[in-house]
Amino acid sequence: MESGQVTTLTRDSARSSYARIGRFLARLVLGALFASAGALKIYDPGAFAIELERYQLVPWKIGVVTANYLPWLELLTGICLFLKWFERGALLLVTLLLGIFTLALASALVRGLNIDCGCFGHALVSTGTVIPILRNVVLLLLAGMLWTKYR
């Protein structure tokens, strides 16, 4: 009986250390991805604004505000998550942002926007939209893993 109990305890702590490692990796991956995504866009907000315009979701001026603000938000959120500063707040923002990005991509997919070039007319949807959506779904699941800590 004693040995049985010990075995159970060992199994539980093994499971929870796998979970800890999993959460640690998820935090690193999400934090690094967000920080680098933001950092890249900080350099040229003008180009980002033009990219946003292609999605035709918001008027130009709102795109300008987004292009100036979003990269810094991503960078800060990514750093906070990575370094465990304001971890809960950062995680909340990461989840919200991922959700919004995925919805934006999905809307482009559904509307069949010819994001690449005007040559095909309007029936074009490129794999360039599908893969980021799938990637975001995976990232959302990683975020989900981090939320389990707070249950």
One of 29, 37, 106, 112 touching another protein (CB under 8 A)? 112
Residue 4: HSE in the Cβ half-sphere, 13 Å Cα cutoff:
1
Least separation in angstroms between residue 4's CB and another protein is 21
Closest C-alpha among 43, 62, 42 to residue 52 = 62
Least separation in angstroms between residue 28's CB and another protein is 16
Return all residues near 88 (Cβ < 8 A) that are at least 6 apart: 150
Return all residues near 130 (Cβ < 8 A) that are at least 6 apart: 109
One of 33, 90, 98, 104 touching another protein (CB under 8 A)? 90
The token pair that represents 137 in the structure block:
């779904």
Q: Residue 58, SS3? A: coil
Q: Does 80 bind another protein (CB under 8 A)?
A: yes
For the segment 15-44, give every residue that binds another protein (CB under 8 A): 15-16, 18-19, 22, 42-44
Stretch binding another protein (CB under 8 A), from 2-10, 27-35, 68-76, 98-106: 68-76
Q: Does 1 bind another protein (CB under 8 A)?
A: no
Residue 27 CB: number of other CB atoms within 10 A?
A: 23
> Which residues are near another protein by CB under 8 A?
15-16, 18-19, 22, 42-50, 53-54, 59-61, 63-65, 67-69, 71-73, 75-77, 80, 86-93, 96, 109, 112, 114-120, 123-128, 130, 134, 137-138, 141-142, 144-145, 148, 150
